[in-house]
């Protein structure tokens, strides 16, 4: 049993009980005989002394048609700390109840076959999703986008493997096709698809880490003013003194449903010394790690004219226009700031699209899929059928590690089913 909703106080709290005794626990709270999959309002009474705790909407899901695959009861009670604490304390005092471990409901769903490991991982990502793009990716993956690809690769590998096994073990049987197994021809495309998925997932973390946008320019061009305008609040100090910003100031923004980390930097000028020079060194480091560089110019400062600039902003357009700028901005001109935000949103969306469509999002998955790719490379490299089969088996095992199930029987079934051997 556990509180499945957010921490109290909240309007409603959802307390979930999973396991064969779930209905008995509901009965202990005075909510017996719940009809499956129907919401029923019941008074909840304390098992210890019969005191009324709250009125709660009670739900019963009979396994396996439940979130965990087991019998599940949910109490939707009022979300006060007192109500939640009392129900939890009364429940764990019952002999058949204990507090669930973190992630245990999902783990039980995996063990009862309701979902595989890859699905469970993306469910965790869906719960953590903070931007629209993260939500879309997690939802796609939690609906089985990775699991389906894995199942497809695995099924094809098992077919190739069964061809190998058949030739190794039963080559004298008449119903095995002649001419040797087309093992490499079938393995090659799978290896290519897996390599593409790994390549596409290289930047998968970017979606959650954020697209790095760096504002850079000479002192006093208005970089700090621009980051404040983009953030809609004061994140950096602004003054008419050149060299105000000494360190990198970053703010995380949701730009068009994508996460971006926008950084304000120390203004760059040649003559700087001391702390200002250190700040400029930090600016250069920040530039090296940037996904998108915005060079800020203004008519009253000497432009940097950076080669790496992706966008040149001519700021303080209210004072004078700036030569060579892609976009004119001014603090008093709200539409110009919106136009800048739009340009940054477009760049962010374009930069993170690959990451949004990545199939593999976790280091664990990447390492297991790399093992699959390595095993397939071994299978393709060796001319010996036995060694190919061994490498293909290793590839299947590595896929099993991704989904959480490894089933050798499946291979035998496929061999016997396909060639009618051993009848
Ligand atoms: N006229 C006008 N002045 C502006 C505008 N934006 C900023 N300023 C002024 O320009 C001066 C410098 O602004 P900052 O934002 O501190 O400039 P910065 O590029 O961060 O400067 P450093 O941190 O020193 O590198 C301040 O006096 C601002 O008030 C604008 O759109 N129009
Ligand atoms: Mg500044």
Inter-residue contact 324 to 303 (CB < 8 Å) = yes
Residues 6+ apart with CB under 8 A from 343: 311, 326, 327
Topology, domain 208-356 = Rossmann fold (3.40.50)
Domain spans in the chain, listed from the N-terminal domain onward: 2-111, 145-203+361-419, 208-356
Ligand 1 test: best mutation among 225, 248, 266, 340, most atoms within 8 Å of CB? Answer: 225
List per-block mean pLDDT (blocks of 10 residues) for the chain, which spans 423 residues: 92 96 97 96 97 98 94 97 96 94 85 84 86 93 89 92 79 52 86 92 88 95 96 92 89 94 90 77 89 96 91 95 94 96 96 91 86 95 90 91 64 45 40
Predicted local distance difference test score (pLDDT) of residue 406: 56
Ligand 1 test: best mutation among 214, 220, 227, 229, most atoms within 8 Å of CB? Answer: 220
Please report the atom of ligand 1 found closest to the CA of residue 241: 24
Predicted local distance difference test score (pLDDT) of residue 276: 76
Q: Say which CATH class 145-203+361-419 falls into.
A: mainly alpha
Residue pLDDT, tens place only, 404-414: 765 545 544 54
Predicted local distance difference test score (pLDDT) of residue 415: 42
Predicted local distance difference test score (pLDDT) of residue 19: 96
Predicted local distance difference test score (pLDDT) of residue 170: 65
Distance between CA 75 and CA 90 in Å, rounded? 13
Distance 275 CA to ligand 1 centre (A): 20
Residue pLDDT, tens place only, 232-290: 999 999 999 888 888 899 999 999 999 999 999 998 887 777 777 788 888 888 899 99
Q: Across the chain, what does the average pLDDT equal?
A: 89
Q: How far is CA 39 from CA 59, 74, 77, 289, 345, in A?
A: 5, 9, 12, 53, 43
Predicted local distance difference test score (pLDDT) of residue 52: 98
CATH 3.30.1360.120, applies to 2-111: yes
């Amino acid at each position: 049993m556990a509180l499945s909703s957010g921490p109290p106080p909240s309007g409603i709290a959802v307390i979930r009980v999973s396991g064969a005794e779930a209905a008995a626990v509901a009965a202990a709270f005075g909510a017996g005989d719940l009809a499956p999959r129907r919401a029923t309002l019941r008074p909840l009474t304390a098992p210890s002394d019969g005191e009324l705790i709250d009125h709660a909407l009670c739900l019963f899901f009979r396994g396996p048609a439940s979130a965990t695959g087991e019998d599940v009861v949910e109490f939707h009670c009022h979300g006060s700390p007192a109500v939640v604490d009392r129900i939890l304390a009364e429940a764990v005092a019952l002999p058949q109840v204990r507090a669930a471990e973190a992630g245990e409901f999902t783990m039980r769903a995996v063990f009862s076959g309701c979902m595989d490991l890859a699905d469970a991982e993306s469910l965790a990502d869906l719960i953590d999703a903070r931007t629209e793009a993260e939500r879309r990716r997690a939802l796609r993956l939690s609906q089985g986008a990775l699991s389906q690809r894995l199942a497809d690769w695995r099924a094809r590998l098992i077919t190739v493997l069964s061809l190998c096994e058949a030739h190794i073990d039963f080559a004298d049987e008449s119903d095995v096709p002649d001419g040797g197994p087309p093992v490499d021809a079938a393995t090659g495309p799978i290896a290519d698809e897996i390599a593409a998925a790994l390549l596409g997932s290289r930047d998968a973390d970017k979606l959650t880490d954020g697209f790095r946008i760096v504002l850079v320019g000479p002192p006093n061009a208005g970089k700090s003013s621009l980051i404040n305008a983009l953030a809609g609040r004061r994140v950096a100090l602004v003054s008419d003194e050149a060299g105000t910003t000494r360190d990198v100031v970053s703010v995380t923004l949701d730009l068009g449903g994508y996460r971006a980390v926008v950084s304000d930097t120390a203004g760059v000028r040649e003559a700087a010394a001391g702390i200002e020079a250190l700040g400029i060194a930090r600016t250069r480091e920040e530039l090296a790690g940037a996904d998108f560089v915005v060079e800020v110019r203004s008519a009253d400062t000497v432009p940097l004219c950076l080669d790496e600039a992706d966008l040149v902003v001519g700021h303080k357009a209210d004072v004078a226009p700036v030569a060579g700028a892609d976009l004119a901005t001014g603090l008093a001109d709200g539409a110009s700031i919106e136009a800048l935000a739009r340009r940054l949103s477009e760049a962010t969306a374009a930069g993170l699209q690959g990451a949004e469509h990545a199939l593999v999002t976790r280091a664990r998955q990447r390492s297991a899929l790399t093992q699959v790719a390595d095993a397939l490379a071994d299978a393709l490299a060796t001319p010996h059928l036995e060694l190919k089969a061994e490498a293909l088996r290793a590839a299947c095992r590595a896929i099993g590690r991704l989904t959480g199930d490894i089933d050798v029987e499946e291979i035998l079934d496929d061999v016997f089913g396909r060639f009618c051997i051993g009848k």
